[in-house]
Chains A and B, each alone.
Chain A
């Protein structure tokens, strides 16, 4: 295995001497896959602090794609559902990263001051709110909707990717009685039990990606 890596590295150096690693990485983008290592990333939060996925190795990490003006995201914040989940799990040591991949000047894009104000108004309890206006991390994870949820285990494996629950609707009254897949996944995995459902259709607003 190692030998092959070295060989292919040597080959690629011979075959493409002018290409640096970044260019080659872009040609063969890393893509998140269930039950495989979650691709690493580095993003800046609304306070200007950098967060790398690698910083959180050894912990469960939730990635929540968000757009605070999307009616589906509003359903989960107006009802207090998302805050409750964030509180429940961050208290148990889970790292909760909210990511906005909205391009500049599209719905869901906010200047950092607005992010801080609105997160406070919502009483949101995420570990950090990360800004991905280029959409690099969103594309890498195949994030499509807001919300779209991902769970990474302490070994760094992607163990859930999909919808937040089984009630695809923007209506507030659909929160009660919904089966929350993120909660189900975390509860199982934190107790060394198998995760029943690793994916479910994500539902919500399309992520407003920047044009490539």
Chain B
């Protein structure tokens, strides 16, 4: 079995799936949206985490406990990696606490920017991935992931194996809205976000959740109250009790279960000063 795995690895053809280092609760692999690398043309790869049933990994803000996965790249000379594009998370509720993260599987997409010119037929992208897998208990995990891609001057083809997962993940990455306007103010115990659509945006939102990018901003486990206003919606969020001062900005992701009225996008970015 081990021999077979080693043999497979050594003679793996160019666009074959990467080896899957196993740990107990999470499998990590590096996948590419395209089947070849074109000098000077950025492309997308993703660290794909595949969780055992019932286990989750965390979002960039883990919520009340946990740790976000980290990716440490080792790339060929002149190659650059962008930041992880975090899909919006799910909320897991424990007694007294709420955790933000992902179950089943998640693609942590990263843009790779190759240099304009380089002398190689193939490139190997490598990364060291660390995560914390939790169910009732938490187990730290890590893996070294790697993918090899051929270099070609032509426009790269999509890898059909992963294309649909990249498309589905893009839909979960928060976008800046051109039709909704957000503002935020504070009361002694709450952050109040006002969401106002531009004229003509028709939607009925039943459930909206604010996920702050930073820890320690809100009481994660307290229910957020959505109310309709004359011209939009008002979301009432309990402020973190154990905080040293008042937030001056409200930054994070707003997720509407029903979407925002124009496309399939459910998550919008919010980053506004406190009024």
Q: Do A and B bind each other?
A: yes
Residues on B with C-beta less than 8 A from A107 are: 136-137
Encoded as 1 (CB less than 8 Å from any B CB) or 0, chain A from 169 to 210 comes to 111000000000000000000000000011101111111111
Which residue of A71, A72, A206, A210 contacts B97 across the interface (Cβ within 8 Å)? A206
Interface size on A, residues (CB 8 A): 38
- Bound form: Cα–Cα A72–B140 in Å: 9
Known pairs A34-B244, A198-B244; A70 contacts B138 (CB<8 A): yes
Q: Is the CB of A34 within 8 A of B242?
A: yes
* B interface residue count range (under 10 / 10 to 19 / 20 to 34 / 35 or more): 20 to 34
Encoded as 1 (CB less than 8 Å from any B CB) or 0, chain A from 134 to 151 comes to 010011001011000000
Residue from B138, B139, B215 with most neighbouring chain A CB atoms (10 Å): B138
Residues on A with C-beta less than 8 A from B150 are: none
Interface class of chain B by DSSP:
loop
Which residue of A31, A138, A139, A199 contacts B243 across the interface (Cβ within 8 Å)? A199
Q: Is the CB of B244 within 8 A of A205?
A: no
Residue from A139, A171, A203 with most neighbouring chain B CB atoms (10 Å): A203
Residues on A with C-beta less than 8 A from B140 are: 71, 170-171
Q: Is the CB of B67 within 8 A of A142?
A: no
Residues on A with C-beta less than 8 A from B137 are: 69-70, 107, 205
Residue from A145, A202, A206 with most neighbouring chain B CB atoms (10 Å): A206
Q: Is the CB of B138 within 8 A of A205?
A: yes
Q: Is the CB of B242 within 8 A of A206?
A: no
Residues on A with C-beta less than 8 A from B242 are: 32-34, 142, 161-162, 199
Residues on A with C-beta less than 8 A from B139 are: 71
- Bound form: Cα–Cα A206–B66 in Å: 7
Which residue of A32, A138, A162, A206 contacts B134 across the interface (Cβ within 8 Å)? A206
B residues in contact (CB < 8 Å) with A: 64-67, 94-97, 99, 130, 132, 134, 136-140, 214-216, 241-244
A residues in contact (CB < 8 Å) with B: 31-34, 69-72, 103, 106-107, 135, 138-139, 142, 144-145, 161-162, 168-171, 197-199, 201-212
